[in-house]
Amino acid sequence: MTTSVTYAELPGLVGEDLGHSDWFEITQERINTFADATDDQQWIHTDPERAKTGPFGAAIAHGFLTLSLTIPMWGQILDVTDVDTKVNYGLDKVRFVSPVKAGSRIRMNAVLASLTEVNGGVQLGVDMTVEIEGGDKPAVIAHALHRFYAPRA
């Protein structure tokens, strides 16, 4: 479910759990496409038959594939209706806690941990947790920084 607010309402969300994104399926095709784009063809990602005998019992998504999907998931969680310039500023901490097996579904939960004024806008510190459907541990935990720039008058 998307939380929709105006730029002026953002400070009131600090400390709030903003909810979850939709589920995203991690198909073998998605994993292979990411492998092609990044030149990371390691067999634990791209060879499902061999991966069955590997340490995870199946082909797994690249950690950075899972991390990259936080961008569309974040867009499903928070919509600032009167801002058109939004920038992913970086990550302060990332941990790949559990592997995401091909065929799994993931979703993200976000908590707005902080809001700091920056030149022309605000920087949001967001605690993100990427969950694996049916899993007992998350796939990724991260603290992301996003900048939203003030609407023009």
CA distance 65 to 33: 10
Residue-wise pLDDT for 54-66, tens only, equals 999 999 999 999 9
Question: In this structure, is residue 37 part of a structural domain?
Answer: no
CA distance 146 to 127: 11
Question: In this structure, is residue 105 part of a structural domain?
Answer: yes
Give the H/E segment covering residue 58. none
Question: In this structure, is residue 32 part of a structural domain?
Answer: no
User: Domain limits at 107?
Assistant: 3-26+61-149
Question: In this structure, is residue 38 part of a structural domain?
Answer: no
DSSP 82: T
pTM greater than 0.85: yes
Residue-wise pLDDT for 42-101, tens only, equals 999 999 999 999 999 999 999 999 999 999 999 999 999 999 899 999 999 999 999 999
Question: In this structure, is residue 67 part of a structural domain?
Answer: yes
Domain with residue 76: its CATH number is 3.10.129.10
Question: In 3-state terms, what secondary structure has residue 4?
Answer: strand
